[in-house]
Structure 1
Amino acid sequence: MSRDKMPALIVGSPDAGQRSPVRAATPADAESIVRMRSEYILSEPWSEEWIQRCTTELVPRLSASGDARAFVIDAPDGSMAACALGLIHPVLPAPAYPKGLAARVHAVATCPDFRRRGYARAVLTALVEQLHTEHVTLFELHASEEAAPLYRDLGFSSSAALMRMTRTEAPASVSEPSAVRGLPGGSEGPGWMPPEVYAETVLKATCFACVYFTDEDDRPLQLHSVYSPAHPWQLVGGTMDPGERPFGTAVRECREETGQTVPGPPRLLATVYGLPGAQWPYSTLGLVFDGGRLTAEQIRNITLDPREHDEARVLPLAEWEALMPPRDFARLSAVAEARRTGVAAYFDAWDWGTE
């Protein structure tokens, strides 16, 4: 069953006689779920910085291709009254879980004003039932004494054979990537670092894809931004969505921003790289594809998204220089030269700097 088509469940409210729907969470619910966990589950609530970091992590995981599943109940004022969040992960298969899929119930929380109404049971039940439809048959969670009866009612059992052991810091001998065996530079290191820990030590980057169009006289086409005075004129394109490949991003962004379809197959003109800076904490990596030459009629038929751009303009390359920051014009020039020569450009000065 698709998560987008799951019906809402209805739970009763014993004290008020009201009915509240349980619905599948979407990426838009990520921040509310993180705040619920911080405020009502953790022994010490997180700082705002950690709430935002965790939200950024959870958003793509709640998408259709992500590994997180969550169900929520909305309060009458639109806030979140209750939530249950589970994270799916692969394990070696066994007779009790033949598909090799397990889930950790990461959070079950209810706002104090809505407790004793069966909300926690409702969202957790919906979560477990959905995971079962996805062939997840091994579940684990950490239960408080207060919540243990609810979990037992839903089939969870404690195990005296297991000891809970936790380590939150990597040993000093493997704190650097060079100490990781089996990973680049780590053949001589004294220890091994789990992949998820090592992943936190490597470069983080966001990716984008653009399309370079010209008119039939090879004059570059750009769009005027309504939201970025620092970069007023832009190529058609944007940031990759989770699960997309670069050319797919270029095709989607072109359709959304201009109403035009990018002709295939993909022809790469340039690779663009930028270091992080004050405005954005990650590096950026982008690919610029050739969109070809547009006829005058095609240019007239461009349909702009007014939330992003208010003008499409075609000018000779030299005339763009006065309208753009030097770095933006340098990138445009490199792309134009790649089109002219047939040699893909490498532009690695797209840094965020101190903007």
Structure 2
Amino acid sequence: MNAETAPATAPGPSAAAGRPPVRAATSADAGAITRMRSAYVLSAPLTDDWLRLSTDELAPRLTPQGDARAFVVDAPDGTMAACALGLISPVLPAPAYPRGRAARVQIAATRPEFRRRGYARAVVTALLDHLADVEDVTLFELHTSPEAAPLYRELGFNGNPALMRMTRHRQPADTGAVPRAQPVSTWVPPQVYADSLPRAAAYVCLYVTDEDDRPLQLHSVYSPGHPWHMIGGAMDLGERPWDAVVRECGEETGMTAVGPPRLLATVFGVPRAQRPYSTLQLIFDGGRLTAEQIRGITLNPREHDEVRVLSLAEWEALMPARDFVRLRAVEEARRTGVAAYIDTWGNA
């Protein structure tokens, strides 16, 4: 599904009404929806034969008796400016979706010249409202790009890092007529390749000391297993590491991190039963703070309730062994100028 990122260049049909004029699609819209999918959703455009096949498949499903529902915005010339298509399917009921009816948002697309006008939000909202209010759907699913994810989060969708999307395509039978000495690489769509990669959560930290090189850490109010933290946290979707450092530093201490970025350590954590994904931490040098700067730190009480500056020996007595290994490696990296690499985080 495309993100509405391109600047608008043509007048829109909603100028007079103040909002996009959304309408329900019919079987007659199947061809235009199929072409929108080909041009703006799929990783490679469909051939004419596949366009005809997809249109013939979709048209009867866009009827009251079918399982497809779509909403569109028309361009001034009568062509399609934006569309959203959902497919309804039965599922076994559960407390979270007692009706046993699910829907997948299959397509959400806007032509580039009509983006940044709220068309995607309008057609997707109309689709979701119809599916919930008229079709009695209680489970909604979709796959999205990082650029479009904020819109879907605003509409109530949530991602789950513990779930992995997996796909399986039936391969054509090998005739064996031409034996191959080496495997031959085949092209796969970018999304299929991305879904095959291992999942990892990304974090950033800022290593800060006082003028005597004693590490500064914050006491967590929510993580008894890791009671003392460096400044930092999880990266947001699409965020650059140093931008995440600046954001986390401001949120947790009220200070502004000043670059240029200098990486001290990379820390890899293996998956665990309670965290079925890897973690990757990037730890940057935050420099040395004066006593006055340290006194001026303002903590976020929802995350931390104390800031301390101690020697390494004093920190060792307060921290789990695996946490202190990381702290000591980061201190050595700053002192020696050689970046640290740790791949045993979370093993204990």
Range of TM-score over shorter length: 0.5 to 0.7
Unpaired stretches in structure 2, ≥5 consecutive residues: 6-13, 23-86, 98-102, 138-147, 149-166, 174-181
Aligned CA-pair RMSD: 4.3
1:108 to partner: Cα distance: 2.5
Alignment partner of 1:211 is 2:206: yes
Counterpart in the other structure of 1:44: 91
Name the SS of the counterpart of 1:207 in structure 2: strand
Match of 1:224 among 219, 222, 234: 219
Alpha carbons of structure 1 residues 98 and 276: separation in structure 2 relative to 1, 3 Å: closer
| Matched-pair contact (CA < 8 Å) for 2:263–2:339 | yes
AA partner of residue 288 (structure 2): R
Alpha-carbon separation, structure 2, partners of 1:246 and 1:113: 39
Is the alpha carbon distance of 1:46 and 1:217 closer, same or farther for their aligned partners in structure 2, counting shifts above 3 Å? Answer: farther
For this pair of structures, how many residues does the alignment match?
224
Q: 1:254 to 1:87 in 2, by over 3 A?
A: farther
Kept in 2, the 8 Å contact 1:173–1:191? The answer is no
Match of 1:169 in 2: 168
2:309 maps to which of 307, 314, 333: 314
How much has 1:349 moved relative to structure 2? Answer: 1.3
Distance 1:239 1:246 in 2: 10
CA offset at residue 85 of structure 1?
5.8
- CA distance, structure 2, for counterparts of residue 326 and residue 114 of structure 1: 54
Shift of 1:275: 1.1
**Number of the residue aligned with 1:183:** none
| Residues 215-248 of structure 1, C-alpha deviations (whole Å, 9 max, x = no match) | 0110000000000000000000000112210011
TM-score (norm: length of structure 2): 0.54
Counterpart residue type for residue 311 of structure 1 = E
Q: 1:153-196: CA deviations, max 9, x gaps?
A: xxxxxxxxxxxxxxx7312579xxxxxxxxxxxx8247543322
Letter in 2 for 1:169: R
Contact 1:280 1:352 in 2 (8 A): no
Match of residue 36 from structure 1: none
The 1:46/1:331 distance shift into structure 2, 3 A limit, reads farther
Instruction: List runs of 5+ in structure 1 lacking aligned partners.
Output: 12-39, 52-82, 91-96, 121-130, 132-167, 175-186
Post-superposition shift, 1:310? 0.2
Tell me the SS of whatever aligns to 1:323.
Answer: coil
Query: Aligned match of 1:272 in 267, 271, 274?
Result: 267
Give, in angstroms, the shift of residue 347 of structure 1.
1.2
Q: Are 1:244 and 2:239 an aligned pair? A: yes
The alpha-carbon deviation at position 198 of structure 1 amounts to 2.3
C-alpha change, 1:264 and 1:172, in structure 2 (3 Å) is same
User: TM-score, normalised to structure 1's length?
Assistant: 0.53
